[in-house]
Amino acid sequence: MAKATFSIWRGEANQGRFTDYQTEVTEGMVVLDAVHQIQAEDATDLACRWNCKAGKCGSCSAEINGQPRLMCMTRLNTLDLSQPVTVEPMRAFPHMKDLVTDVSWNYEVKKKIKKFTPRKPDAADGTWRMQQDDVDRPQEFRKCIECFLCQDVCHVLRDHQLHDQFIGPRFLVYAANLEMNPIDAENRLDELRRLHGIGYCNITKCCTNVCPEEIKITDNAIIPLKERVVDHAFDPLAKIIGLVTGRIPGP
Amino acid sequence: MADLKTYDHDVLVIGAGGAGLRAAIEAAAGGVSVGLVCKSLLGKAHTVMAEGGMAAAMGNVDDRDNWKVHFTDTLRGGQYVNNWRMAELHAREAPDRVKELEAWGALFDRTKDGRILQRNFGGHRYPRLAHVGDRTGLEMIRTLQDHGVHQGIDVHMEVTVTTLFKRGDRVVGALGYDRHHGDFHLFRARAVVLATGGIGRAYQITSNSWEYSGDGQALAYQAGASLMDMEFIQFHPTGMVWPPSVKGILVTEGVRGEGGVLLNNKGERFMFNDIPDNYKAQTADTPEEGWRYTQGDKNARRPPELLTRDHVARCIMREVKAGRGSPHGGVFLDIAWIKEKIKNAPEHIRKKLPSMYHQFKQLADIDITAVPMEIGPTTHYVMGGIRVEGDSQMSAVPGLFAAGEAAAGLHGANRLGGNSLSDLLVFGKRAGEYAARFARENAAIAPDSGEVAEKIKTALEPFDRKSGESPYKVQHDLQKMMQELVGIVRKEDEMLHAAEGLKALKARAANVSVTGSREYNPGWHTAIEIQNLITVSEAVILSAVARKESRGGHFREDYQDKKAEFGTFNHLVDQAADGTMELTQKPIPPMTAELKLIVEEMK
Ligand code: SF4
Ligand code: SF4
Ligand code: FES
């Protein structure tokens, strides 16, 4: 079997550089397998995150040949192995060690979004009635595995570093999931505009392009949310109704 | 200790999958301070991998269902060595736990009249699994996570616990290290809940992530709690077998629930050839009847593909051994065939099984709507674990609780699919509730500082040894040995061989060395984890050798039949005074008259 070269970012807290490793390539291997093999053979202290190895937990995010990807879902036969494959950490977050970054900011952001608050149950047994058609859309958003690849690629965070003013695509998806949940009675539209910086998104769709769950982040979450935010901001009547009933005016 | 950080929590929950999160939420609701330790980042625990659904007798799809049927299904599946009190509580309380998730933001698939949809699954008499496509575990963990972060719980991410501390009988705290800096953390607590999941990493082919190294079982054992029924390990019949790098990754039972069939290389539906007597009455006679069952026909009986997991796994092994397997050592699982039955089959499959479609497409270049998958058994779940009291989930050590896969009892000798997610919720809640109560009633005691210092020193020893071997090598050899000698088909001489092998591995594990710094050093983490893997492997071997019969997940080639006398007790493993591992039999207490009657009625 052939060997391939992997250029892996090594080092702590941005003091890193690429180090080349050669390892055997076998059929069906993914980048994460190569990293593990290198870990076992040459570099026992090589740091990377992973859990499920099946694209379900969103732990193994990295930049592979410059592209934000899940290491466990990137097959080697989709890469050009005649060149060294570069593997480096997500660049939009503070570096910790090797392929591991500090993603704690994301957890802080999520806490600031008003939590799910259901309306009164529809039935005496404390349950609700919802049609499948009405949950299809939020279910799409709930596929999110919190890999934060969309956050990594969004220029507002990556290039402009507006982490304190913009929650990023992942949390716009999260907010959209709450706003479109048929039984949620909370209203987050004011905050989305004032605190969460939805206006910073200029719909470049870079986030949608990297989402491993193929969530249509921009078309299905951000654009409808922007429309609701605009309607809400410029419709004084809706605002009053919203204040009185806690209900969201439709888009 | 310059780098020792100390925290005080009333209740410390170790593990942040479904059970740990649910326990933490409940403990916080009980008005005590709660610390939650996650081995990974929050929301990444193995629960995300659960696919099919959570079993709860809500009767939304078939109103003949109720807790009594669920209770008897669970006992039948577990071959009657279950903790029947847990099986009862589980069946009674699961519906409320599921509904509660909806109140916290979960969005399950719906019935036509707008209620939570339920699907068929192996061993469940009626459609019972609340689900979201084939990503129910993700839905569950995210719901608990998003609800939990607003409950005032202190979350410690990427921290691994290495030791529990006791004062007298009671557990009083824990020691852990964080992955980021390799610093040590001392958690002082009045009560501790272990929700650390299973032991799958003791095997080579497993659906489990690296986190599943038997930490909770080993911690509890060291602290003086008993491990129960460790021989009962579930080998899920359908794991991926090709390409090699994905070997073991789970293929949900939902594929069979939606009409998928198992075929050997002759194209034969071999599952029809071997239907156990106690399931004959519930199993379809013809493929046609089986198909109707998967499509919701209430008068049809389930196809043999949906028999219990232990049985299906063994039938697959038999086909492979007899030379009737697929090219890469498995058999075929075919869902594409349903195009003969329904229009738009590819679209239907993608809608019902989106993650499976995705997984095979991306990892194996296979379109499951067009061709069969190749699958084979994979180590999936341990029914055994920490012995707990059914109502409170407290172990033999006062103040030490366990829930979810780390605990034993609910599932007996074999777990039904879908009973795990509901287990996490029902007993996570109970563990949290009773741990909070224990914390309110008992004062905090500080762990002995000398002992803390000593344990830190032990944890750092791999760095001091300069010439030892790599921990990965030892881990690999252990996994290989367990796979080959204590796997799905077991034999006395092979297992005794493994017991010998384990002694050698123990010596090697005590001598591994690691290089680099303490910052995010996976080599060091592995060096610590193999100690736990060795402890649980020893318990598995000891229990498996002693069970000279076949029951549930435990299959003996040399004792192929079930024996009545082995159905009257559980195996307990404890640490003896001299530090060796000791096995005893603990009689199963008689069932209450009410429950006995239910079992009789449902026979
Ligand atoms: S579409 Fe908006 S959120 Fe997505 S990457 Fe572009 S600017 Fe960022
Ligand atoms: S929206 Fe997609 S890319 Fe963003 S975090 Fe979720 S799964 Fe990852
Ligand atoms: S390891 Fe879970 S997504 Fe890659």
Per-residue pLDDT of A58-77, as tens digits, reads 999 999 999 999 999 999 99
How many domains in chain A? 2
The catalytically annotated residue of B147, B236, B348, B415 is B236
- Per-residue pLDDT of B413-457, as tens digits, reads 999 999 999 999 999 999 999 999 999 999 999 999 999 999 999
- Domain end, chosen from A78, A101, A124, is at A101
* Residue A234 confidence (pLDDT) above 80: no
What is the distance between the alpha carbons of residues B399 and B27, in angstroms, rounded to a whole number?
A: 13
- Average pLDDT over all residues of chain B: 95
**Same domain as A90, residue A171:** no
CA dist., res. B490 & res. B152, Å (int) = 48
What is the token pair recorded at B137? 């575990």
Whether A121 and A174 map to the same domain: the answer is yes
Is residue B379 predicted with pLDDT exceeding 50? yes
Chain position carrying tokens 């006062």: B398
Order of all β-strands in the sheet with B233-240:
B233-240, B373-382, B331-334, B261-263
Same domain, A117 and A231: yes
Q: Give pLDDT, residue B466.
A: 84
**In this model, does residue A26 exceed pLDDT 50?**
yes
**pLDDT mean over B7-30:** 98
Structure tokens at B559: 């004792």
Q: Which of B110, B136, B142, B144 is nearest to B355 (CA)?
A: B136
Q: Same domain for A118 and A196?
A: yes
Amino acid identity at B81: V
* Residue A91 shares a structural domain with residue A192: no
Phi, psi of B191 (to 5 degrees): -145, 150
CA distance B425 to B94: 7
Could you give phi then psi for residue B371, rounded to 5 degrees?
Answer: -135, 160
Question: What percent of chain B stands above pLDDT 90?
Answer: 90
Atom of ligand 3 nearest to the CA of A212: 3
Structure tokens at B84: 């029947």
User: Residue B107 and residue A73: Cβ atoms within 8 Å?
Assistant: no
Does position A236 have pLDDT exceeding 80, yes or no?
A: no
**How is the beta sheet containing B581-587 ordered, strand by strand?**
B385-386, B227-228, B569-575, B581-587
R_g of chain B, CA atoms, integer Å = 23
Q: Identify whether residues A241 and A129 lie together within a single domain.
A: yes
The residue from A101, A127, A157 where one domain ends is A101
Q: Is residue A251, in this structure, part of any structural domain at all? A: no
Name the H helices within B322-448.
345-352, 354-364, 419-441
End position of a domain, from candidates A75, A101, A127: A101
Residue whose CA lies nearest to ligand 2 atom number 6: A144
**B24-38, B216-230, B309-323, range with the lowest pLDDT:** B309-323
pTM as predicted:
0.94
The answer to whether A14 touches A95, Cβ cutoff 8 Å, is yes
Q: B551-601, pLDDT tens digit by residue?
A: 999 999 999 999 999 999 999 999 999 999 999 999 999 999 999 999 999
For residues A97 and A121, membership in a common domain is answered with no
Q: Is the pLDDT of residue B3 over 80?
A: no
Could you tell me the two tokens for B519? Answer: 């910052």
Q: Which residue intervals of chain B bear CATH 3.90.700.10?
A: 238-378
B182: nearest Cα among B452, B518, B517, B516 = B518
Query: What is the CATH T-level fold of the domain B460-563, as seen in this structure?
Result: Methane Monooxygenase Hydroxylase; Chain G, domain 1 (1.20.58)
- The set of residues, in sequence order, having a beta carbon less than 8 Å from that of B342 and lying 6+ positions away, is B348
Q: Is B415 a catalytic residue?
A: no
Q: Read off the pLDDT of residues B452-503 as tens digits, 9 standing for 90 and up.
A: 999 999 999 999 998 889 999 999 999 999 999 999 999 999 999 999 999 9
pLDDT confidence of residue A243: 53
CATH number of the domain at A147, please: 1.10.1060.10
Measured from the CB, is residue A68 less than 6 Å from ligand 1?
no
- Domain co-membership, A189 together with A237: yes
Say if residue A97 is in the same domain as residue A120. no
Q: Which residue shows structure tokens 């930490």?
A: B215
Amino acid at A22: Q
Give the integer Cα–Cα distance in Å for B9 and B447: 13
**Tens-digit pLDDT profile for residues A95-117:** 999 999 999 999 999 999 999 99
Is B236 labeled as catalytic in the residue annotation? yes
Q: Hey, what CATH class is B238-378 in?
A: alpha beta
**Chain A residue nearest residue B99, CA to CA:** A127
pLDDT score of A244:
53
Phi/psi of residue B89, nearest 5 degrees: -60, -40
pLDDT for A251: 36
Question: Please, are residues A117 and A97 in contact by the beta-carbon 8 Å criterion?
Answer: no
Indicate the CATH number for domain B10-234+380-449. 3.50.50.60
Which residue ranges does chain B devote to CATH 3.50.50.60?
Answer: 10-234+380-449
pLDDT tens for each residue of B231-281: 999 999 999 998 888 899 999 888 998 999 999 999 999 999 999 988 899
Looking at residue B142, the DSSP 8-state letter turns out to be H
Domain range enclosing A215: 104-245
Is A188:A175 a contact under the CB 8 Å cutoff?
yes
Closest listed residue to residue A35, CA positions, set A12, A9, A14: A9
**Of B490, B235, B237, B539, which is closest to residue B385 (Cα–Cα)?**
B539
Say if residue B201's pLDDT is above 80. Answer: yes
Query: Residues of A with CB below 8 A from B147's CB?
Result: 115-116
End-to-end CA distance of chain B: 61
The residue written with tokens 């239910």 in the block is B598
Atom of ligand 1 nearest to the CA of A205: 1
ipTM reported for the complex surpasses 0.85? yes
Under a CB-based contact definition with an 8 Å cutoff, are residues B410 and B74 in contact? yes
Of A55, A139, A146, which is closest to B362 when you measure between CB atoms?
A: A55
SS3 A225: helix
Clarify whether residues A92 and A155 are in a common domain.
no
* Binding site membership of A91 for ligand 3 (Cβ less than 6 Å): no
- Supply the pLDDT for residue B419: 97
Shortest distance, CA A201 to any CA of chain B (angstroms): 24
Q: Is A138 on the interface with B (CB under 8 A)?
A: yes
Contact by Cβ (8 Å): B405, B425:
no
Which pLDDT belongs to residue B251? 93
Domain shared by A68 and A147, yes or no: no
Does one domain contain both A12 and A135?
no
The bridge status of strand A67-70 relative to strand A95-97 is unpaired
CATH number for the domain that contains residue A69: 3.10.20.30
pLDDT bucket at A237, cuts 50 / 70 / 90: low
**Residue A250 placed within a domain:** no
